[in-house]
Structures are given as C-alpha cells and as structure tokens.
C-alpha cells in the first residue's frame, strides 16, 4: 500500500519557519558555546558541543532534501558551514542523493551509504567486524569512519582531481572560517575535535546504527524508532526513517503526523522501541552480518 501524496506549498511560497528556527538556534548556540567555552566545565562543553554538531548534521540532511526554502543555493548556504570540519557538504549531498535514488538500498555496490561489505576478508572487513557492536561503533566509530572517508577521498583526488577540487575547495574555505573563529575565541583545535566533533559524530552514529537493514523486501530496509524522546528533535525525526524514505520531500516536522495517518503502510518496517532499547540490545553484539546477504557465500 502506498501512502497518499501530501500536497506541498508552491516553490515560491514554501518557507519552512521551523527549519529556519532550528538553523538559527544551532548556529547561535555554536557561537555561544565556543565564545564562552572557557567559563564552562569541559564536560558541559562536550555535551553541548556534541549535541550542536550532531544537530547541525541533521540540519544538513534537511537542506539536502530542499528545506527550508526549496532553493538549492539558499538551502546549501544554510547547511554548508562545516562545523564538523571533515565532511564536505558537496560530497554529502551527492552521496545522499544517490542513496535515495538507488532501488538497491544497503547494497554496497549501489548504495554509497551502505555499512555492509560485499565480501569477507581483508582489512576493511576486519574493521567492519571491529565496529559492528554499538558500543564499539560509538567509541571507535568516529575515528574509523572519518579515517576511512579521508583515505578514500585521497584516492579519489588521484582518480578525479577536478571533481575532488570542486568538492573540497569551498569546503576548505569554510573550514578556514571555522578555524579563524576558534582562534578568535581561543579554543584550541584538539579541544574542539574532542569536545565538539567526536561526540557529535558519536550521536550521529547512534542515529544511523539501526536506520537500515539488508532485506529482500524493500519495505523492510528502513527502520522506525517509535519513542525517540529528545533524540527525535536532535535527529529531526529521522527516527522515522522508513517514513522519510517513503516521503523524502516532507520536512522533518511533518513526518510524525504523516506516520500516524499512514501507520499501516509502514507495518513491515523494522521497529524499535527507543534508542535505549537499541543500545541495550546491540551494545556488545552486531545487529547483522557485516557482509551483505546478496554476497554471502553459503555455509
């Protein structure tokens, strides 16, 4: 059963004030915490910094999907400030659009955001096994994911130098602006990486851990977390990931109502009670085999 289409406002009048408000709070909060970091206890800085960077990642995801204005240049300007430092907005945008465009979600050969491997053996497979439990994903995952991403980008620089420069030059200009501000407020880069970037990445990996499962039935490849608590706002309702995949055009604040109105359409989606339930269940064990089922060899 396909959920009924929801009529969107026209492109000329669609200005989504809730998303603009989130953007304003994130950027104002980041400026405030970095400005007053020396007056705050470091654990509080790390808590607030991690929340802001993770929330900013959720905002970037919204802007990639054409929110809050529907104008790519404006939405990109809102989302492209690199608070996390390591991920160029242009790369994230291209890979995420490809993630939604493929009909083979989770297939490592078709889905650039797949966490699955296409074959067992080798150092990447061993790394995937190492970070398969959620506890390892949270503690080691930021270092692993950022390291692998930068390694692959350096390889891409050799194979596609023009595209690489087109992606990275605007990003590096944004990074330079962030670093200038950090120097202005006397916030050392190692402290920023440890108190903002790393915990922000940890929270983002908690969100993405159970978003997708490899399954022959497309309706079972994207999941739902029913009771996200405050994570619902932090992740801008990507806890309703199956709903987002069905209606990627809907802004984050419309997803809960759409889910309630079309609940039976998502009855086949993998469902979790809460992120605490996910943590309790998978803290010390993998959610699934790291090799995609289409490429597993018979036992």
Average pLDDT value over all residues in the chain: 94
User: Rounded to whole angstroms, how far apart are CA atoms 296 and 105?
Assistant: 17
Long-range contacts of 90-95 (CB under 8 A, 24+ apart): 90/166, 90/167, 90/170, 90/171, 91/153, 91/167, 92/60, 92/64, 93/64, 94/167
Indicate the domain borders of the chain.
17-294
Q: What is the largest CA-CA distance in the chain?
A: 59
User: Rounded to whole angstroms, how far apart are CA atoms 14 and 108?
Assistant: 36
The predicted structure's pLDDT at residue 6: 35
User: Rounded to whole angstroms, how far apart are CA atoms 59 and 71?
Assistant: 15
The predicted structure's pLDDT at residue 5: 38
User: Rounded to whole angstroms, how far apart are CA atoms 149 and 153?
Assistant: 6
The predicted structure's pLDDT at residue 299: 60
User: Rounded to whole angstroms, how far apart are CA atoms 186 and 119?
Assistant: 47
The predicted structure's pLDDT at residue 61: 98
Instruction: Report the candidate in 205, 222, 211, 208 with the shortest Cα–Cα distance to residue 146.
Output: 205
The predicted structure's pLDDT at residue 1: 38
Core vs surface per residue 49-69: b (16+ CB within 10 A) or e: bbbbbbbbbbbbbbbbbbbbb
**What are φ and ψ of residue 14, in 5° steps?**
-85, 90
The predicted structure's pLDDT at residue 98: 97
Please report, for residues 57, 124, 140, 147, the alpha-carbon distance to residue 203 in angstroms, rounded to integers and kept in the order given.
10, 23, 12, 17
Q: At what angle do helices 134-159 and 161-184 cross, to 10 degrees?
A: 120
Cβ atoms 237, 218 nearer than 8 A: no
User: Rounded to whole angstroms, how far apart are CA atoms 295 and 274?
Assistant: 31
Please report, for residues 136, 186, 252, 296, the alpha-carbon distance to residue 245 in angstroms, rounded to integers and kept in the order given.
27, 42, 12, 26
The predicted structure's pLDDT at residue 174: 98
The predicted structure's pLDDT at residue 298: 73
DSSP state of 40: S
β-partners of residue 117 are: 291
Please report, for residues 10, 170, 221, the alpha-carbon distance to residue 295 in angstroms, rounded to integers and kept in the order given.
44, 38, 17
Whether the CA torsion 194, 179, 44, 238 is positive or negative: it is negative
Query: In order along the chain (299 residues), what is the average pLDDT of each group of 10 residues?
Result: 38 79 98 98 98 98 97 96 98 98 96 95 96 98 97 96 97 98 98 98 97 94 97 98 97 98 96 97 96 86
Mapping DSSP onto H, E and C, the string for 108-167 reads CCCCCCCCCECCCCCHHHHHHHHCCEHHHHHHHHHHHHHHHHHHHHHHHHHHCHHHHHHH
Q: Is the peptide bond before 68 cis (omega within 30 degrees of 0)?
A: yes
The predicted structure's pLDDT at residue 297: 80
Instruction: Report the candidate in 51, 48, 66 with the shortest Cα–Cα distance to residue 204.
Output: 51
């Amino acid at each position: 059963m396909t959920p009924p289409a929801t009529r969107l406002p026209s492109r000329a009048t669609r200005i989504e004030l809730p998303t603009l408000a989130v953007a304003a709070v994130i950027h104002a909060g980041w400026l405030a915490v970095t400005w007053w970091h020396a007056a705050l206890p470091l654990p509080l800085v790390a808590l607030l910094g991690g929340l802001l960077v993770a929330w900013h990642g959720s905002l970037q995801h919204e802007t990639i999907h054409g929110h809050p204005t529907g104008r790519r240049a404006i939405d990109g300007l809102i989302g492209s400030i690199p608070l996390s430092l390591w991920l160029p907005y242009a790369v994230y945008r291209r890979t995420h659009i490809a993630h939604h465009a493929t009909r083979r979600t989770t297939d490592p050969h078709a889905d650039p955001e797949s966490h699955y491997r296409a074959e067992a053996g080798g150092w990447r497979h061993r790394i995937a096994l190492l970070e398969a439990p959620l506890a390892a994903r949270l503690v080691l995952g930021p270092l692993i994911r950022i390291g692998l991403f930068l390694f692959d980008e350096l390889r891409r620089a050799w194979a596609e130098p023009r595209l690489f420069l087109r992606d990275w030059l605007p990003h590096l200009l944004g990074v330079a602006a962030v670093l200038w501000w950090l120097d202005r407020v006397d916030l050392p880069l190692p402290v920023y990486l440890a108190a903002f970037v790393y915990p922000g990445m940890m929270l983002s990996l908690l969100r993405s851990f159970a978003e997708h499962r490899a399954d022959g039935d497309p309706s079972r490849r994207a999941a739902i977390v029913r009771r996200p608590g405050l994570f619902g706002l932090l992740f801008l309702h990507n806890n309703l990931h199956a709903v987002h995949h069905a209606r990627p055009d809907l802004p984050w604040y419309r997803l809960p109502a759409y889910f309630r109105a079309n609940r039976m359409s998502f009855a086949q989606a993998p469902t979790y009670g809460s992120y605490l339930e996910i943590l309790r269940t998978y803290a010390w064990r993998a959610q699934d085999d790291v090799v995609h089922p289409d490429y597993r060899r018979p036992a």
